[in-house]
Amino acid sequence: MDNASYRTAVLRTAQRFSDTSKELNLGGMGLAGEAGEACDLIKKVVFHDKPLDRDKLIKELGDVRWYLEFLCIALGTTIEEVQAANNAKLVDRYPTGFSTEAANAPRTT
């Protein structure tokens, strides 16, 4: 599914508000909650010796992606713009690629 089609699917299943702050709250809280659920599944694999339920983790990551797209909609941006901004930040931070030294260097941003 391409990003435009995914956005249409998110809009079809999203509760919308005229108040942008409510959409930002719903998106942010939903994103944090779903990321926490994904993290909990991984924690159980690492620390509780449970087998990885790949399908369940994929579903949780889908929920994370849904809320990320919803936040993009609420902000009036696209996932492509978010990706480009993130890439620019990382290129600035790690111009020659990741290194422990660069990761531990003082940051201004």
Residue 76 is predicted with a pLDDT of 96
**What stretches of 25-69 adopt beta strand conformation (E)?**
none
Output the six-digit token pair for 31. Answer: 């994103």
Residue 108 is predicted with a pLDDT of 76
pLDDT in tens, 69-104: 999 999 999 999 999 999 999 999 999 999 999 999
What predicted TM-score, i.e. pTM, was given to this entire model? 0.90
Contacts of 101 (CB under 8 A, 6+ apart): none
The predicted model gives 3-7 an average pLDDT of 95
Alpha-carbon span 36 to 1, nearest angstrom: 25
Residue 109 is predicted with a pLDDT of 66
